[in-house]
Structure 1
Amino acid sequence: MNLFVIGQGGREHSMIMKLAESEKVDRIYAAPGNGGISDAAECVDIDELDIDGLIDFAGKKQIDLTIVGPENPLLAGIADRFHEAGLAVFAPGKDAALIEGSKQYAKVFMEENGIPTAAYASFTDAAEAKFYIEKQGAPIVVKADGLAAGKGVIVARTVQEAISAVDDILVNKAFSEAGKSVVIEECLNGEEFSLMAFVHGTNVFPMLPARDHKRAYDDDLGPNTGGMGAYAPAKDISSETLAFAAENVLQKAADGLAGAGRPFTGILYAGMIMTNDGPKVIEFNARFGDPETQIVLPLLKNDLLQVILDVLEGKDPALQWEDKSCAGVVLASKGYPGSYKKGVALPEINSDGDTFVIHAGTRKTDKGIVSDGGRVLFAGAKGKDVADASEATYKWLAQHVHTEDFFYRTDIGQ
């Protein structure tokens, strides 16, 4: 089969590395790809939002299946357009992807379908939002309604911090169109975890629970990012909790979307928190998580392409997992998630037998691989447990990363 993967980050590189293991794969193309993906697939210079260009390419290259990585093309309706062109695609349609594209829609959807989540209110008027915050008190969570690359969520420890967040989103338009409205939620306490599933209609096949670290710095300090590291499985999440989440979160979401005429096909991601009242949903994503994908897929025993084909055909893919743990750490550009330099030369990237390296924001040039984003590389390893995997990862980073232009957290999985 000829495959086409849309995207350019670490998630897509990880997907491509796993897909390339399949004996069913002939060629893999990626649009636009990155400096590492170009070693595993043929990169084509088409923007992930140039849907006409992507459809044209898929038709000319006789692509058998397109897999969409990032969220922006999903909300732009890429899956709907591919279906209209008679092209097979593994991704949710625009209506189904709204569960990620609008936090307000997601909260209403969860209420209507009995999915446990935090109490909330939505506002377009800054004064009303501030009045609500003053009445509720802090800590409290302020979210930009739309897509903001993981950065539109502010966990405010004080009322003033929450009010400033409202000003940033609604008044100063810090997140542009994503900040037309804000969702303000109660602040939930507990351990967070991510649970992804392969979904087609009302068929739901959960993966291993993972834990992502969103804050930029050690000890969960600093601003929220797209994710600075992750590990799987999150073994503190009991089998009973996972069964509850599978039935009352993932299955209810799939059933609810199908019942609303928005059937979901693709990867459904639930970001959850384990509270004293049980697990509650923080957010839904309509695609593979990043960086969770990079530590979940290496533990999957199955042929990833065969899993996707089985799911699309309505079959149970019979997911099997290695009895190991996987942990990984993001190497980020200094200044991320704020402003940062691009085009910085990277050290020679040589993974050893114990570790693997995923490219995220990189670009291949005549002079070698250079940085091209905030999150640049993802170093990871498998081990007998999370501590073992984490130790191998940090050993590799200490040996290979010697530059003042990048940083990474030193406490992932510890």
Structure 2
Amino acid sequence: MERLSALGEEPALITAAERELTAVLLNSAVLTARWSAAEVSRLANRILEREPATSEQVHTPLPLVVIGLVAADSVRGISSWLAMEQQTRRQGGTVADALVNVQQAMVLSARGRVSQAREYAERAVRLAEVHWQEAGVVSTLALTRVALDLQDPVLIERILDGPGRRRSSSLALTATLQFAKAAQDAGNGRWTSALETLLACGRQLEASGWRNPVLFAWRPWAAELHRRVGDPGAAGALAEEELLRAKEWGAPVALGRALRVKARLIGGDQGVRLLRESVDVLRASADELELARTLLLLGRQLRSGGEAAAVLQEAGALAAACGVPWLVERIRAADGSGASAARPEAALTRTERTVASLVGRGLTNQEAAAELGVSSRAVEKHLTSSYRKLGVSGRRELIELLPRMDS
């Protein structure tokens, strides 16, 4: 941080070496949240203005600049820059191509456009298979964020069983894979195990000085898990910590999310006031997925009436544009539209209903596969399809829904 400050308020950015040095130092300020989001955004955009969009170099400052802009919730301006870069280069199988796809995926994820981000992230991972050292870590980070936003258990398992098994000294990769493992455990109803994983991840990040609330949002998730396991005190403490960090950092996406987490814990009229504040903050954010999630919760709290209907309608439009099926289904259930609200099993195929019934009896995927005479992978695919159609996050919520399906 001292070296970055020594460069002055207007660091020299004429040469590629100057831009790369400044980007590296800026990345440290981002990870540690020692600068504000506004300061990071200003300097990152200055670097971007001087970085040629036709650069063929692998070691450009651009990936670090993109990370800074994502963390600052300031990605609207970079989309056109990346599009220009992609148009001016010939697509192939190079490291630079992998990095371009990673950058596109990161920016689209930061805007909440998850289905589009997945296409770029999947392509980046494929390219990184032969360029792992240069692009493997960042491509895995991009795809894992997509998997977490989609709450896709099959994709999460593929990441953990594939690139997640590679050895790496990257703390960012280690932390992201811990998020994926926690998601896998939570999806299977192992709340305590998921919480322990997240808390261990948080301790590791804090010990390393990595405190950015946008890049490593472990507290909001851990607070929700504390609530689920019956520890509202610990949940509230984490929510307060996250709100403080978000205010210090200043990015709308972090502050809006922190307000939503606190609102969910408090509930009642005060919770509604915090949700309204969260919506107002998130309207200044590029992340439409976070806004959709807050609008859903606000619509649920308002319960009925014209305002609730309007809020849920906006949430549904945003969720559909983001390409997040589980959120679309939850919104339909909340406003009473769609098959899932009135008859949750209606959208399931006969095989999917059978698999759900077997899971409800306590069978594992392997046991259900043996009873049906199919592979475990087939059972997994049927469950994933059921989660998406019913708007549930995993096995536990599916089991909780079974009584309604049988009635």
Q: Decide: shared fold, TM above 0.5.
A: no
TM-score for both structures, normalised by structure 2: 0.25
Structure with the bigger percentage of helix: 2
Higher relative contact order (CA 8 A, sep 6+): 1
Larger radius of gyration: 2
TM-score for both structures, normalised by structure 1: 0.25
